[in-house]
Amino acid sequence: MQSRWIENLLGVRNIKAERFSINSPYVAKDPEMLFYEGTRAMQFVPEPIVWRAKSGKEITWWIGSNEEVLLKGYGKNKVGFRYSKNKSDFDKVLYRGFVFKTQPFFVTSINPEESEVMIAAENNLGSVAPILLRSKNLFFMTSHPFLGPDRKRYMALCDALARFLGVSEEPRPLGLIRLEDIHPMYDIKKLEAVIELLEKREIHFSIGVIPIFVNPAKKINIKLTDDPKLIEILKNAQSHGAQIFIHGLTHQFSGVTAVGYEFFNPRTQKPFPERITLEQLENRIREAKSIIEKAGLKIDGWETPHYMAPPILYKALKDEGIKTIYERVLLVDEIQFNNPLIVHQMLIYPSTYMGLYWIPEDFGYDGYNFTQKTVYNELKKHRAFSRGVVSFFFHSYLGKKQLEALLDSAEKDRVLFVNTNKLLKIYKIIK
């Protein structure tokens, strides 16, 4: 599964990647770049992969386990680093002069010798160890960046890879903001106040629209086309540059809209009944599109409710003519208890995957704790991971003052908010 993460990261340069199992005759393909992703220790690594990595002549990224074959294995060539006797857990990531506290993690103890240390780890005893090294054209990561809940190592890898691929740094940090869960029955006054603030500051933004509001307990079922006031607000916003993303059809299965999951049950790790086949998914997408278009609004893309659905949803979206997806990528990990485990891949920059355009959302949302301090901490990450995008969503019911504090923090860091089309052009994903 982690190989898909790498494939998606390469999408920032629209690089077409092929994935091979460890036993595949990859050599015949002669790749310009090879990524070896060692998730299992003591795994057999074919000699050609080791020879390639140790020669340093061709670009090879070695991520994770089985480094012993590099240090002690085939051939006389020596890599520019060796094992270190220092062993310890670490709780900080050092990258480009920034220090980030993390949950404890393990690294393979390496003495870098003449290698370049690109990412490092530190603990509370002051011990420092490399996480990502470069020796000629061999890039070696001593700690697996895809494992564990803390994403600092992963984000640093994303940025380091983007720099290597030639992604340029913009004069100002790029930002995206999305107003979330807008539906019939929404608090119109608070929505208007937030939109007015964004327009006054000349900030580009998008809106996640749920076209049907449902409350089964109260027997409420209202479509966007039944709410002329909301349509007027959305049309006015769109006329000033706002973008509309479909945020599901009802954003619920059996409960109230904008609270529950629409496509996938996180408890059972199974799709909800009647929302599992390609035809069923296409029907819901088609109905959502029809309602929004009947309201006279242009559709700019899709955002999956709670970012949870069977991955076949992406094929359904593509079949229905939707190519821009604004969320964290859904991937199937391993099969657990006869069910696929769905995981999210957070991107810090736009990408391409399955013939779709992916818009990053990497800040997340912390409800009423989404304060100026939260934003400051996230912006600090962006100053380090500067090839990425400052991207978050905001609930308008939190009010204008909450958004003002957030925007003030972004303004101090000179964040330039753009729309998603502009973002794709800046990253040269579209012309």
**So what's the pLDDT on residue 250?**
98
pLDDT (tens digit per residue) in 375-422 = 666 677 778 888 999 898 999 998 999 899 888 888 888 999 999 999
Of residues 247, 259, 234, 261, the one with CA closest to residue 289 = 247
Say which range, 79-88, 183-192, 353-362, has the weakest mean pLDDT: 79-88
Confidence band of 27 (pLDDT split at 50, 70, 90): low
Q: Is the pLDDT of residue 366 over 70?
A: no
Q: Is the pLDDT of residue 360 over 80?
A: yes
pLDDT (tens digit per residue) in 148-166 = 667 889 999 999 999 999 9
* Mean pLDDT across the chain: 87
Provide mean pLDDT across the span 334-352.
73
Confidence band of 276 (pLDDT split at 50, 70, 90): confident
**So what's the pLDDT on residue 429?**
93
Phi, psi (degrees; rounded to nearest 5) at 421: -65, -40
Q: Is the pLDDT of residue 246 over 50?
A: yes
| Max avg pLDDT among 82-86, 297-301, 344-348 | 297-301
| Max avg pLDDT among 154-158, 219-223, 326-330 | 219-223
For 77-94, give the DSSP string: ---S-EE-S---EEEEEE
Q: Is the pLDDT of residue 368 over 50?
A: no
Provide mean pLDDT across the span 1-16.
85
Confidence band of 208 (pLDDT split at 50, 70, 90): very high
CA 421, 422, 427: angle at the middle one, nearest 5? 100
Give the whole-angstrom CA distance, residue 31 versus residue 20.
Answer: 11
Provide mean pLDDT across the span 21-34.
70
SS3 category, 60: strand
What does the CA dihedral 256, 257, 262, 266 come to, rounded to 10 degrees?
Answer: -60
Of residues 164, 168, 155, the one with CA closest to residue 426 = 168
Say which range, 110-114, 241-245, 268-272, 358-362, has the weakest mean pLDDT: 268-272
Structure tokens belonging to residue 106 = 């393990």
Neighbouring CB atoms inside 10 A of 41's CB total 10
User: Which residues neighbour 15 within 8 Å (Cβ) at sequence distance 6 or greater?
Assistant: 165
More confident residue, 119 or 18: 119
| Max avg pLDDT among 57-71, 169-183, 377-391 | 169-183
pLDDT above 70 covers a percentage of the chain that reads 88
Of residues 358, 359, 357, 332, the one with CA closest to residue 344 = 332
In sequence order, the β-bridge partners of residue 135 are: 138
SS3 category, 225: helix
pLDDT (tens digit per residue) in 32-53 = 899 988 766 667 788 888 888 8
**So what's the pLDDT on residue 5?**
86
Confidence band of 18 (pLDDT split at 50, 70, 90): confident
Q: Is the pLDDT of residue 339 over 70?
A: no
**So what's the pLDDT on residue 375?**
62
Provide mean pLDDT across the span 100-129.
90
| Max avg pLDDT among 85-94, 147-156, 235-244 | 235-244
More confident residue, 25 or 383: 383
More confident residue, 374 or 231: 231
Say which range, 75-89, 102-116, 240-254, has the weakest mean pLDDT: 75-89
**So what's the pLDDT on residue 267?**
82
**So what's the pLDDT on residue 140?**
93
